[in-house]
Structure 1
Amino acid sequence: MQGDNQQVQQAVQDLADKVAVVSGASRGIGAAVALRLAASGAKVVVNYRSDVEGAQQVVSDIESLGGQAIAVQGDVGISADAGRLFQAASETYGGVDILVNNAGMSIYKTLADFTDEDFSSLMNANLTGSFNLMREAALHLRDDGRVVNISTSVTRQMFATYGPYAASKAAVDQLTRVLAKEVGARGITVNAVAPGPTDTGLFRAGKSEETIARLEGMAALGRIASPQDVARVVAWLASRDAGWVTGQIIGANGGFA
């Protein structure tokens, strides 16, 4: 993570005195977002479901930058666990200003091959978890706060085997738009970032180099994203500069879709 740390040290400290909850932050995009927000001055609750070592490493990386963070275990698909993240943030740092809804999973199968268990697991992780945390944000986020949901650019494509996954994220997109209307009077903005292919362990699992090369070629910029590419967009949406942007689904995909 040394190279990542050097990049985030350059971030402007415009989130000083803010508190952020980042779900699924033990690796990949979530870890990059946690580091970026911390580099911008936020105190960060690093959520993880099972990867305690990864979460502790993210906390250590943040502390090495001079930031503050705690790791909190929880399955956000369980409403009580989602509430516990906000409770931990309030007890440790006094409240929550920023929610980044990143936790999720992928299952790539044709509709005919999807089992009931597959569908239930996917929707619980991607949709129910996001709903649970958005509900907590609506109840407990401080005025002028920020909600940033992680969606996907495949909602704009017709990729075989991506149906339920894209559907779960499309539902998150609509919750994003509706919540923006419901909390806007309090100065809270609610947006979603829709990445294209991003170079994480989850993305590379089960993909051949030929497949990855094909996906790189579909982007206007000719490559797949790094997690830091996505994290920079999330950090901007969490900043004061993005205070007039709400209810939007922003493609952070290098021209992929």
Structure 2
Amino acid sequence: MTTALVLAGVRPGGDPLAEFAGVSHKALIPIGGVAMLDRVVDALRASGRIDRIVVSIDRPELVTRPDVEVLRSGQTLSASVSDALEKLGAPLFVTTADHALLEPEWVGYFLDHLPETTVAAGLARSENVMAATPDTKRTFLRFSDGAFSGCNMFFLRDASAVEAVRRWREVEALRKKPLKMLVRLGPGAILSYLLGRLTLARAAAAAGRVLGASAGVVELPFGRAAVDVDKPADLILVRRIVEGG
């Protein structure tokens, strides 16, 4: 069994989406009458694969569920994960509270298809994402074997992942800027990308070198796994999906 960390804190400067929805934290925005954080926790619990759920949030008093533990979050996502890894140990499954469509099946599939690497991330192909949610706007990473979007699902296998998380802080600001992120992968990756030869597997290997730990991916066949709630349009879309409107 595995420990799950749910990132629910507010970034420095506040969260415009939380303000838009009239709540203090994005994690507390209701979807179908249930806060996003509760939807994520319920999915993790129902997966049958998680025996410990820990929520990382800047205001621990906001989390009152008796079936979860709470950690005070850091200033950034990577700082929160680093602190959690130190306190909770590994292996650690990481997701976010705005992953409001998370389903138990996705969690099981991800854990069943993990590569033998120190860190792993879940991705979904663009065609699956757009087929499942034609109205969504996602950031896609384009490789010679397809375009992919992140699914807010990560796995840290052992203590050596600490170094990967530390280095993650250095590239965290580039998460929505694929081309700048590519530069960090080195000249070989850049040349392969320009020639249309950079595969997802090779990019993952290069990312591992940047992070100082072996890295791999789990390709999820669930298009909606790439949909999180970052902006008002996402909130409207996810509410429509959940509420059947």
Common fold, TM-score beyond 0.5? no
State the TM-score, normalized to the length of structure 1: 0.27
